[in-house]
Amino acid sequence: MKVIRHAVLSLKAFCSGALPAAVRRAGPPPGFVRLADVVPAIVQDMRYAGKENFTGRPVPGYRAPQCWLRREVADALAVVAKEAEVLGLRLVVYDCYRPQRATRAFMDWAGDEADQATKAAYYPRIAKNEIFAQGYIAKASMHSLGIAVDLAFLDKDFGTPFDLFDAASATDYPDIAPEARKNRDALFALMIKHGFENLPQEWWHFSFKGLDDAKPLDVEIG
């Protein structure tokens, strides 16, 4: 009787979602790793898991503020982080793998003209309906493949904050302070050296080259 009762309680727990976190959260999909397990020295400031982002709220798909990446990408970042350390610099990541549901949420946000709450902070000089057209948000994101990362050097000036949708965020934008230019150039050089390519509109966005088998995923981060 106790065995049967235990089975019934377990079934109820399963149906209600009350199973332990270790059961509910399977972790990264095959071929992916948690960046913290590979390079714990890299700071994780995962903006879309909280409210400090252009939508002004946590984004669907980010149940935990964790950076997940394809193993090859994480390994390459480990080398970048080591070389940055020699220069007295430390990496901070803002976004890594991005579930497809997050991109759909970005599209819904961009289509809601009534919601202009974050305009002053994130897109002060362009209209909201121009954000996709100018390439600041992609409808098919490299992030969903697990091969893209948004990053910077911790506590360093890059001329603009992360996710500022503005011409000044372009990697080669000329009218920035010398220190910001130095930091952009150093980040670019390190990332390119180790197999990444930059999105010209965004100094922080880099994708790892050569992973032709990468496919978009919609696995929730948690």
Asked if 168 and 213 count as a contact pair (C-beta separation under 8 A), the reply is: no
Q: How does DSSP assign 147-207, residue by residue?
A: -EEEEEETT---SS-TT--SGGGSTT-SSS-HHHHHHHHHHHHHHHHTTEEE-TT-TTEEE
Q: And the tokens for 65?
A: 């503020």
Catalytic residue flag (residue 72): no
d(CA 134, CA 138): 9
- List alpha helices for 21-139, DSSP H: 21-24, 35-38, 71-86, 100-111, 119-122
Active-site pick, 83, 130, 197, 202: 202
What size, in residues, is the chain?
Answer: 222
Rg for the chain (alpha carbons), in Å?
20
d(CA 133, CA 131): 6
Q: Which residues make Cβ contacts (< 8 Å) with residue 99, sequence separation at least 6?
A: 60, 61, 62, 144, 217, 218, 219, 220, 221
Q: And the tokens for 24?
A: 């509910």
Catalytic residues: 202
